[in-house]
Amino acid sequence: MTLLAFPLALSSILWIFLSILGLLTLTFVILLPAYTILLAGTTIVRAKLQQSYHVSKRDHGERNDVAPSPWSKTNTSLFQGSVFHIRHQPMVHSFKYPLHFSVVDLDEGSELFGEGNVHPCGGKMQQTNGHRGKLWPLSKLMMLRDEDHLKNGEGLALNSEVQSTSMQERIINLVHERTVGKLDLRATIDSTENGKQRNGNTHGNTMTPRKIMLVTHLMYYGYCFNPVSLYFILKPKPNNVDDEAEEIEAIVVEVSNTPWNEMSVYVLHPNSVDTVQSFVYPPSDGFKSQSYRYTWRKNFHVSPFMTMDHDYDWKFQISQDRIKVEAKMIRHPQQTDSKDGVLYFTAGFDIHRKVTPSSRYPLQLARIIYRFPIYCFIIQVWIHYEALKLLMKGVQFIPHPEGSETGASKAIAVVTKPVFAAMDIVDTWLSEWRDNGKSKEE
């Protein structure tokens, strides 16, 4: 009986493993792609029906305009490329992974995803005059939600008669606040029109509308996680109609930390209280527009393997079809023997547009997102996998400086404390062994 029990148990385990593997394959290779394509197709059919209705109205004299293609001038897209990290101190550690980002023109947010998705409604769909967005029902699988951004209430005009409701308004208010009023773009936002950009203001003064491009991960298949999101505030160059020649006026960097689930923002602009230095460089590396570099103090605990005594040094380049960011972390000169500080960490990403405006726009989106259905979850797996490798290399876990704890951070502390204690014992034993060896030689 004992001899028979082992192969039976082994076959049961194998059967369970194959069943789970088969279920996962069925879900992610067949059912999920089919469902995603079905919703994308339904989105296209819905748009065609709306166009037909529009044409019918025009033919009966009720309208005299031409029905536009719903995605003919869409700036929002998916970008793909790669991300890399290189740790230089106290030991070298590096990795490179494929990356895809959603790049959303915030002026198109409610039009594409529906007003209930991009306004602060707790992530629930609220119908406003029946407006579900041009990407409905595909937007059920990829959604832009306010609750995933600006979590600390940044940019909310609490003392204003008109409560800020749109992400555009909040970003503009935040920039105004952090630049102490020196960059005031509030005249480009119309609070009465759901935060859309407009020309001029009620006092007759005109201001060129700004484009705010959000580089982020949407909520895919019900889950969202963003280590970093970037809001690029862009303005066209004077007397230049080439969109490629747009200038970066300001950048809002939104950072999350793992495992504490906190979020903080930095406003990058020459007049921002967050910015230490700013530089502008001529076009290079295939970009038609200038590149912008900012340095600022780290004041938010991000990596549990990096202390707070560092400065950030980031460089940004953006065009319609490509975005490139290079980031450095430099330890303060006071903490090192170098007057310029010591480079501790380098990271960056280079991404290119993969979805272009066309009648097949929803299908293009669908084909990308069903290949990465749990992409935000995969990001967290990568983060913890690389963290484990750092632990194995002996890099010390740095607790939250303000004592903030979550279940995840407590679990990591429980695991790492005995590991580091064991490593200390081994190091002590090896040191004593070497000292004894030297004593015997003498």
- Residue 427's pLDDT is 58
Cβ atoms of 323 and 285 closer than 8 Å: no
Closest CA to 120 of 142, 150, 140, 161: 150
Q: Tokens 């059920």 identify what position?
A: 140
- Residue 205's pLDDT is 45
- Residue 131's pLDDT is 66
* Whole-angstrom distance, CA of residue 119 vs CA of residue 144: 9
- Residue 55's pLDDT is 61
In 157-227, beta strands by DSSP E? 189-190, 196-197, 211-216, 219-220
Low-confidence ranges of the chain (pLDDT < 70): 1-6, 53-69, 115-131, 157-164, 190-207, 239-245, 334-338, 402-442
- Count of residues making up the chain: 442
Q: Mind giving me the DSSP string for 322-361?
A: EEEEEEEEEE-GGGSSSTT-EEEEEEEEEEEE---SSTTH
pLDDT tens track for 381-391: 888 899 888 88
- Residue 200's pLDDT is 42
- Residue 288's pLDDT is 84
- Residue 125's pLDDT is 41
- Residue 47's pLDDT is 87
State the first-to-last Cα distance of the chain, in angstroms, to the nearest integer.
64
- Residue 28's pLDDT is 86
Q: How many helices (H) and strands (E) does the chain have?
A: 8, 15
Q: Which long-range contacts (CB under 8 A, 24 or more apart) does 323-329 make?
A: 323/79, 323/101, 323/103, 323/215, 323/349, 323/350, 323/351, 324/285, 324/287, 324/348, 324/349, 324/350, 324/351, 325/230, 325/349, 329/298
Q: Which two tokens stand for residue 186?
A: 């509030």
3-state secondary structure of 416: helix
Sign of the alpha-carbon dihedral angle for 405, 310, 319, 201? positive
CB-neighbour burial class of residue 63 (10 A; exposed 0-12, middle 13-18, buried 19+): middle
Residues 6+ apart with CB under 8 A from 78: 100, 101, 102, 103, 353, 354, 355, 364, 365, 368, 369
